[in-house]
Amino acid sequence: MATARKGRELFTILETSADTESTAACDSQDSPLNLSADVKWFEIPYRKPDSDEEDELREEEEEEDGGGEGENGFTSTAAAAAAETADAASFIAGGGCNIILVTGSNGLKHDEEEYAEDCYYSTSTNCSDTTSNDSDIDFSDLEEEEERRSFFSFEDDLDEDCTSPDFWGEPDQVISIEPFSAVSGPQHSLGDDADTRDYFRILFPDSLFEHMVEQTNNYALYRQRRSGKSDPHWHPTDVREMKAYVGLNILMGINQLPDTGMYWASDIFIGNAGFKKTMTARRFEKLTQYLQLCDRESEPVRGERGYDGLFKIRPLLDVVENTMWDAYVPNRCLTIDKCAIVTKGRFSPTQYMSSKPLRKGLTVWMLCDSRSGYCHRAKIYVGRPSEDEAAACLGYRVVTSLVRGLEGQYHHLFMDSFFTSVPLLQRLLRDGLYACGPTQPGRKGYPEVLRPRNVGKLSQGEFYQCQRGNLVATVTRDAKVVSCLSTNSAPGIVGISPGRQQHEADGEGENDSMDSSGLSFGVPRPLPLLLYQENMRGVDLCDQLRECYQVGRPCKKWWRYFLWFYVNLCIVNAYIILRESRGGAPPAGFNGKQFTQRHFRVRLAQQLIGDYQGARGMERAARKRHADSPIEYGHRLERMSERSRRCRNCTNKGLRHESVFGCKICNVHLCRGGCFSEFHK
């Protein structure tokens, strides 16, 4: 970009007349990327710098008029023009948050120490901090050829010399955004009578339960052969029992207790009768002990050919990744971010993130829908980058692997500063994908004129931009200074979202930022930042649904956390598919007002358990049903209620009789005749 010369105007002021405001505001139909309809849009008309002769004539005229410069470096002519604008415009120009657009290098130098206090991103681009240097899970051979190809493509993108002074130009180019016209949403053939288990089966098929049963039985024999002793408390499991086991783990996330054994406690206020009826505590512990997903006898040792660090969960990943991708076709706006899996114990791949609510956990990269939170793909954390270039290359590989299969469909991706870089956005743009997200200003390729040492201290709402084709670089100040890159937003467009209604406690007057209706205006933000704030929520929505009810219990085996993570993720995705497929209507048989995720989980767990009863449960049930005298066990014919209900025994025989009497122990209504004794036989 050309250096600034004395007397040349570096900025263009937002034109905020009534005509400009009416023509620049976006219609609701053309509002890009799920932005709120309450956002007021303005466009900053780009004005190229005048010649030096015109600048000198303008300076002479201003000196003759005796006009001085304002506090923001603009002439009094510009200030007078801004004073005649409309109410919303006066808020923007006169409220201390001038909106400016760079048209050349400002040539100004500021004290870096003073600016460092307000900078949101540090100049260091070390985006990863882990608790240890090495991982006990070797991912080096995982998808080696694929990562090597991604690395070379990353180097090819860097070869375009994005650091050249001529790479970035003035923000006056017209960008081209192709419309998104692909069919999106849930893809299944379930009818209106489908229930929660049917939707869960789309993502977690019965073949996985059969595989878990086979490998669990094999692993139990493998452990007994290695120890040389047989386990007297173990007997082979089956599919029904494995489904009941998973159903109990789902219910443990809803009815949370500190210890697993408390679900089988004899205390009536703590113990759960449903858990006791399904299986014994010892059987649950044995299933947990021998639960397995892979063939341990054929597992390659570290260093051997074909070694896979994720071998223990590879069968699960191969199935679930395909089902999640096929069950829901991605919408236009997608989010790429990381989530943390809470762990207990010491794991080398565990990361410590001080700025996150879950500060310690295993990291998984996720591609989610920005609107619904549906997770299309998940990629497990593959290691710690040791250098800045390694970190940038890691983000490049993660994004390209997550969006594989979306090329040429013109999706809009939103990601955080760990991923966003100039080579990545160029690669995505060539593949027919648009992207937007904040970035580190010190990364290779970011415009030199927009870096902290050249921009200086910005006012709130002030921003600078540079452009190269669809690629737009922006630096602005909102609550803090933010640098971002985008390929889906035109330069020079800002939006103002209405804030919350404010009330004066002392009643001395109204706030300057409020209009006559009492609605306060927010800080004007450039279009890339608004798009990011509106659509960077897909992974957060998925995390909110997933963290409400955990599945599984803490353990010492790292792969168990990933197993229950994917089971929980399939539950969340199944709930989203059911909600969108039925338009919010609950499945048949539900009598509540609103079918929430809690109802979905309880109903799914009940259907997975079904009528299964373990050996001890069946023994107890038989002892009660076939007792010679039901009265010995507390079963008596008593008056149940004032209103008559259908007799359970008659209903089982296909008859319809009602009675106010029944058995309180069994909680059923029975006729006073022979139905009581016949039911208890």
pLDDT at residue 63 greater than cutoff 80: no
Of 59-68, 123-132, 139-148, which gets the smallest average pLDDT?
123-132
- Please, what's the b/e burial string for 544-574 (b: 16 or more CB within 10 A of its CB; e: otherwise)? ebbeebbbbeebeebbbbbbbbbbbbbbbbb
pLDDT at 499: 54
Higher pLDDT, 154 or 472: 472
pLDDT at residue 681 greater than cutoff 60: yes
- The arithmetic mean of pLDDT across residues 514-525, rounded, is 58
pLDDT at 195: 93
pLDDT at 148: 44
pLDDT at 12: 31
Triad 55, 58, 60: Cα angle to 5°:
110
- Across all residues in the chain, what is the average pLDDT? 75
pLDDT in tens, 168-192: 888 888 889 999 988 999 999 999 8
- Contact status, residue 453 vs residue 109, Cβ threshold 8 Å: yes
pLDDT at residue 147 greater than cutoff 70: no
Instruction: Select, from the ranges 81-95, 121-135, 169-183, the one with the highest average predicted confidence (pLDDT).
Output: 169-183
pLDDT at 435: 96
Tokens coding 300:
């390659």
pLDDT at 245: 97
- The arithmetic mean of pLDDT across residues 226-255, rounded, is 94
**pTM of this structure:** 0.71
pLDDT at 563: 94
pLDDT in tens, 9-33: 323 333 332 333 333 333 434 445 4
pLDDT at 579: 94
In the chain, the percentage of residues whose pLDDT exceeds 70 is 65
Q: What amino acid occupies position 77?
A: T
Do the bridges between strand 412-415 and strand 434-438 make them parallel or antiparallel, or are there none, so unpaired?
A: parallel
Q: Dihedral angle at the C-alpha atoms of 271, 273, 277, 279, nearest 10 degrees?
A: -30
Q: Tell the burial category of 185 from Cβ atoms under 10 Å away from its Cβ (0-12, 13-18, 19+).
A: middle
pLDDT in tens, 632-648: 456 788 888 888 889 98
C-alpha span between 294 and 273 (Å, rounded)? 33
How many Cα atoms within 13 Å fall on the side-chain side of residue 403? 34
pLDDT in tens, 247-299: 999 999 999 999 999 999 988 899 999 999 999 999 999 999 999 999 988 88
pLDDT in tens, 361-378: 678 999 999 999 999 999
Q: First vs last Cα of the chain: how many Å apart? A: 92
3-state SS string for 114-138: HHHCCECCCCCCCCCCECCCCCCCC
pLDDT in tens, 549-565: 999 988 888 889 999 99
User: What does each C-alpha distance from 395 to 151, 346, 435 come to in angstroms?
Assistant: 11, 26, 14
Higher pLDDT, 228 or 392: 228
pLDDT at residue 152 greater than cutoff 60: no
Task: Map tokens 């339960």 to a residue.
Answer: 209
pLDDT band at 411 (very low <50, low <70, confident <90, very high): very high
In the chain, the percentage of residues whose pLDDT exceeds 90 is 40
pLDDT at 460: 85
C-alpha span between 571 and 565 (Å, rounded)? 10
Q: What amino acid occupies position 139?
A: F
Contacts of 354 (CB under 8 A, 6+ apart): 129
pLDDT at residue 542 greater than cutoff 90: yes
